[in-house]
Structure 1
């Protein structure tokens, strides 16, 4: 019996299978520093202990997406080591902020399977929950295309889960102790509050950021994401694109960081309703982003805080001034690489 782990192939998965993922990960200030170096996020709550304490938190939490990537990374050796591509996300809720020093682990359950018609691959749907001890901090669904080991292998029962269009506003979690009545708009870097945004509004985040080969590999290693498509140029050189694919979460973090210019007070990501990586991204591409406000929601019992539902599109090698998007037939231009639908929490002036 081999002592090395070849990873699971599509035919290895079964409906309702539980996967307890190794290894636990303690998030450190070093992780936060490297994350900042890679993406340059500037949101005040996550940047300064003094700012976070002024609004009721014990210290600056780590970036919500850093927590997401760590929880996600734990799942890769069991779920997507032999992936062709990660396809999408849904029903993701950020249940509690994560702080430096917290140790996270992840448990997943297979909730759907669908073999592709080529019989070379299949799509695996999993619900993963990230825990701090016994407290869940993140809960999400993702689906990923995974290779088969043997094209002739008989696979298990098929099922495609029904996923809701969005997380309902009443299901959003607010960090314990948060009090935005003491929010310092000047230090946050923008005067624009929840009241200033309206459904249908589009925001060009203006700035672009070019991805270097070393950066995306450093980032993926930071999350202990071991998917072969991100690292092994020898193997990828024999595939259609001939290049290492950039982890989709790397693009999500870039788009979130770029969104500061226009959404500086979107201080927490509360939920991801859905996300699609619609075109591949490679080193050398320059990422731009724009956002549309889809919906506003008041939060029960809160006069200091509201929720915005946003749709952010990331583009490669095309500035966002013209808001490139799907055509009438629903086809994306080649420049669009990410379409992300999510909720953020934003302070209110009232």
Structure 2
């Protein structure tokens, strides 16, 4: 299957193949997409004639005028996605499902930063907007790679506590980077490259007994973060201000949950759920003399939360429904929220 988009001359090609047998099934999927620079529509009926136009962009280290301001220069990228899924029925009561995924991309420009000026003002006398120099010569996300593997085991049984059981073991490896260089027409400024690698491990256990569903969930995230700076002599050296703690960081969570549903009558249904979660975050910081120093070299954060919900829905017929919901929730404190505080100090 091929799809074309006129807004960015994007072409996506998708191929898939599947086979289904009595005890074996196979599904293969491959998608590749190429996107050119995005084009904005030329009709601006709202009355703001300059809205969305791009007047300048960086080419070969110089700021040049855009011959067609409706074209958002340097926004094109490409992406490839692959998935392989295999289902194997070992026994009438046992089934295995394997899932392998791979994704990759080209550099992905951060257009909202590439289109950012040092100063924008309005000249009332000449009735025109004045743009004073683009801020960045380069602001790209580097190729983003993702590997994913999972094994799912389904087992049917008939005991006092369990009708069916499902176990899911998964691992995901995510690699991403950010490359930033400010723009100065009189000098080639330093290029900062930041790299992050995230390893994600997870285990899910889902059990069911009639209308009762319960289980356990565990996951562990490990993050490594590095940064380098390249000067005008093309010398690459370590850079202290990483996006996440430079000594590494991790986050883990374990939770138990249960849900229950019941129809009192055909038109009246009760849904309830409860979940207990325990999260822990750890981060290590290596101070760099004469650059930045912290009064501590590690951070540990641990918390628990008990959440739940109960809802009652009444629907006398298909045309209308009355429902009441009561729910407790909490905000998950992530690495992004707690420890990704270095980037803004520089850019």
Please give the TM-score of this superposition, normalised by the length of structure 2: 0.29
| Larger relative helix fraction | 1
Larger radius of gyration: 2
| Larger relative strand fraction | 2
Please give the TM-score of this superposition, normalised by the length of structure 1: 0.29
- Tell me which of the two structures has the higher relative contact order, counting C-alpha pairs closer than 8 angstroms and 6 or more residues apart: 1
